[in-house]
Amino acid sequence: MPFAIAHKNTHFLSALRLENRSGKIPLWLMRQAGRYLPEYRAIRSRHSFMEMVQTPKIACEITTQPIETPPQPIRRFQFDAAILFSDILVLPDALGLGLTFEEKLGPVFKYPLKTPLDLHRIEQDTLPPCLDYIPETIELIKNKLDVPLIGFAGAPFTVASYMIEGGTSKNLLKTKKWVVNNPQAFKKLMEILSDLTIQYLQMQINAGVNAVQLFDTWAGALSSSQMKELSLPYIEKIIRAIEPSVPVIFFSKACSSFAELIKGVNPQGISFDINADLRRMREDMPHLAIQGNFDPDILLGSQEAIRKEARRIVDSMQGDPGFIFNLGHGIHPETPIAAVQTLIEEVRR
């Protein structure tokens, strides 16, 4: 296996290679550096989200949780990996779509792709230099961190859906209209995005990330034949380009439904949504790392409920050399710190 380990904490990277025999289950949480943390909210009250992401010192501080500043999760919770503080939508922002994050609305693009005629606006062979803050941030982080750093990008379909919808959408109907009425133009969009995503991830790898996660949150909006024809080939292209240098973990809220298809494009690991029975998934995919899949809603419940569900997942994957504990989706901003503490304690027991 080509992936080098240069950290004191090796559990996460060895689990990705299915070689974790330490008895310790590696653990990190999607959105672990986000809004549930009071210190995140304190910084956020002084800056816009994009300012935070685009200022390497701030993005580094949020990712690495330095020991000098009071409670920060890597130190407080001892996660086994950190994830770059950024967003899947910074790539379309760099392509000129004008991203802001608005209270209650979430991400909003000022210049969405309204029709296939807009494709010419984003067509380019190389990454815009305005993304240079990303490697700068990663280099700062790497100097501070003693756990592996995860880089990431959105998968082309999920990123395209935001570019077409102009922001968050319940049913992705504008996107589905493109898919149905203009499949050729949609493929063109996926081609542009997959080529740029490969460059974007390679830039992160060159700057020092140790693994990458590809987020295809909304893939479940596609039928399986649409997934096969319009999305999967581009995911496969990205994985093939990236895997020789670092492992790729694929995440979607639809991983349970598309498990067989995703397995077929050979990511090193799959991060499962809450619906998956991980032990069954392990029987179906003995050679992939499996990450997941604690229901983040349960973190809003009682301590006993949290302990019980954590125990159930840990018991079902006990001794598995390729298991990484995570949530089935990002942590809710309302999650109490004590709930995260309880979850981690129970997994570590």
Distance in Å, CB of 152 to ligand 1CP, minimum: 5
Is residue 307 part of the annotated active site? The answer reads no
The span from the CA of 109 to the CA of 290, in Å, is: 34
Of 17, 80, 93, 162, the catalytic one is: 162
**Angle, in degrees to the nearest 10, between helices 156-165 and 173-181:** 110
Is residue 311 part of the annotated active site? The answer reads no
Of 31, 273, 295, 320, the catalytic one is: 31
> Whose Cβ is closer to ligand 1CP: residue 83's or residue 230's?
83
Say which residues have a Cβ less than 8 Å from residue 225's Cβ, sequence separation at least 6. none
> Whose Cβ is closer to ligand 1CP: residue 102's or residue 146's?
102
Residue 296 DSSP code: G
Say which residues have a Cβ less than 8 Å from residue 97's Cβ, sequence separation at least 6. 109, 110, 111, 112, 113, 122, 163
Is residue 87 part of the annotated active site? The answer reads yes
Distance in Å, CB of 148 to ligand 1CP, minimum: 14
Residue 102 DSSP code: E
> Whose Cβ is closer to ligand 1CP: residue 44's or residue 320's?
44
Distance in Å, CB of 225 to ligand 1CP, minimum: 24
221 is in an annotated binding site: no
> Whose Cβ is closer to ligand 1CP: residue 18's or residue 212's?
212
Distance in Å, CB of 17 to ligand 1CP, minimum: 22
Distance in Å, CB of 140 to ligand 1CP, minimum: 16
Return the residue matching tokens 């460059």: 199
> Whose Cβ is closer to ligand 1CP: residue 44's or residue 237's?
44
Distance in Å, CB of 304 to ligand 1CP, minimum: 27
Residue in 326, 86, 28 with CA at minimum distance from that of residue 203 = 86
Say which residues have a Cβ less than 8 Å from residue 26's Cβ, sequence separation at least 6. 11, 12, 15, 20, 80, 81, 324, 325
Give the residues lining the site for ligand 1CP (CB under 6 A): 30-35, 44, 49, 83, 85-89, 101, 106-107, 152, 168, 215, 217, 330
Of 44, 93, 200, 216, the catalytic one is: 44
Of 80, 87, 93, 216, the catalytic one is: 87
Residue 232, SS3 per DSSP: helix
Say which residues have a Cβ less than 8 Å from residue 80's Cβ, sequence separation at least 6. 9, 11, 12, 26, 27, 28, 147, 148
33 is in an annotated binding site: yes
Burial call 276-312: b when 16+ CB within 10 Å, e when fewer = bebeebbeebeebbbbbbbbbebbeeeeeebbebbee
31 is in an annotated binding site: yes
35 is in an annotated binding site: yes
Is residue 44 part of the annotated active site? The answer reads yes
Query: What string of DSSP letters covers 5-67?
Result: --SS--HHHHHHTT---SSPPPB--TTTTSTTSHHHHHHHTTS-HHHHHH-HHHHHHHHH--T
217 is in an annotated binding site: yes
> Whose Cβ is closer to ligand 1CP: residue 250's or residue 320's?
250
Residue 172, SS3 per DSSP: coil
The residues carrying an active-site annotation are: 31, 35, 44, 87, 162
- Binding residues for substrate are 31-35, 87, 162, 217, 329
